Structure 1
Amino acid sequence: MRVGEYLGEKGIKVTKSRIAIYKILSDNDSSVSADYIYDRCKSVGMDINLSTVYRTLEVFEAKQIIEKFDLGNGKYSFAIRKNKHMHKIECSECHKEIEVPCPMQQIEEILKNQTGFVLTEHRLVLKGICEQCKNKD
């Protein structure tokens, strides 16, 4: 499917800048900053403002096309939303399990930004007390 069609199906007005921003995001394996996107657009001769990049990223985030990663100190990076795997959280009392989205992609981006390490695997065990068991006490 072409980018324009995809954006249109998501209810997003299709513009040259939105198509370019989507392509830049999808061409990168890791998350990128708004400044990086802006610089890439300018390097190919696009007449675009940094504010347009930020507005487009906000629209993409609202439509759940991208994820926004808080890197700390007011810095953010953005990446196309990937198929997320889920984790289970188990109640320590009744052993009921529910699935929750994996929070590790955010942690992976922070690690990569701060240390240069790329996370290749993780194991995450989540346990707690469900609301029903908590209310029994």
Structure 2
Amino acid sequence: MEPKEFLKQKGIKITKGRVEILNILKNSQNSLSAEKIYQINRDNNININLSTVYRTLELFEEKQITEKITLNDGVFAYKLRGKTHRHYLECDICHKEVEIPCPMSQIEEMVQNTTGFTLTNHDLIMKGICKDCKKKH
């Protein structure tokens, strides 16, 4: 979908800056900091203030277009939300399953930033006892 149409569909006013930032995120394999997005715009001779980049990223996060990730150095990075896979918690006693979003995205970003590895797969096993079973025991 075209960036302008996408923004319109999300109820966001279309501006040149927002379209440019969306295009940068769309074309990036990795998450990007606001400063990196600002630098890419400058390198492409696109005049957007750093404060505009931050405000746009906050808006995109609010509208659930982007995911904000805290990197190990305390810097925030942003990437477009994609289909995220989910994990299931299973109670050891009653075997009830609870679906949760994958909590690994921040760890994947840290691994990539510190080692250069792009994870293609991960396994996460979590075991426990649900609140109903805890009350009974």
Q: Bin the TM-score by the shorter chain.
A: over 0.9
Deviation at 1:96, TM superposition (A): 0.4
SS in 2 for 1:89: strand
Structure 2 residue runs without a partner (length 5+): none
Q: Distance in 2 between matches of 1:104 and 1:9?
A: 29
Counterpart in the other structure of 2:52: 52
Q: Distance in 1 between matches of 2:76 and 2:47?
A: 23
Equivalent residue letter for 1:82: G
Q: How many residues get paired?
A: 137
Percent of aligned positions that are identical:
52
Equivalent residue letter for 1:17: G
Is the counterpart of residue 12 in structure 1 residue 12 in structure 2? yes
Q: Deviations over 1:6-25 (max 9, x none)?
A: 11111111100000000000
Deviation at 1:103, TM superposition (A): 1.4
Q: Distance in 2 between matches of 1:132 and 1:93?
A: 10
Deviation at 1:118, TM superposition (A): 1.9
Q: Distance in 2 between matches of 1:122 and 1:73?
A: 23
Counterpart in the other structure of 2:82: 82
Structure 1 residue runs without a partner (length 5+): none
Structure 1 range deviating more: 76-85 or 39-48: 39-48
Q: Deviations over 1:30-86 (max 9, x none)?
A: 111111110111122222110100010000001111111100332111111110111
Q: Distance in 1 between matches of 2:126 and 2:14?
A: 41
Q: Distance in 1 between matches of 2:100 and 2:29?
A: 24
Q: Distance in 2 between matches of 1:120 and 1:46?
A: 34
Counterpart in the other structure of 2:39: 39
RMSD: 1.1
TM-score, with length taken from structure 1:
0.94
Counterpart in the other structure of 1:135: 135
Is the counterpart of residue 63 in structure 1 residue 63 in structure 2? yes
TM-score, with length taken from structure 2:
0.94
Equivalent residue letter for 2:41: C
Deviation at 1:27, TM superposition (A): 0.0
SS in 2 for 1:98: strand
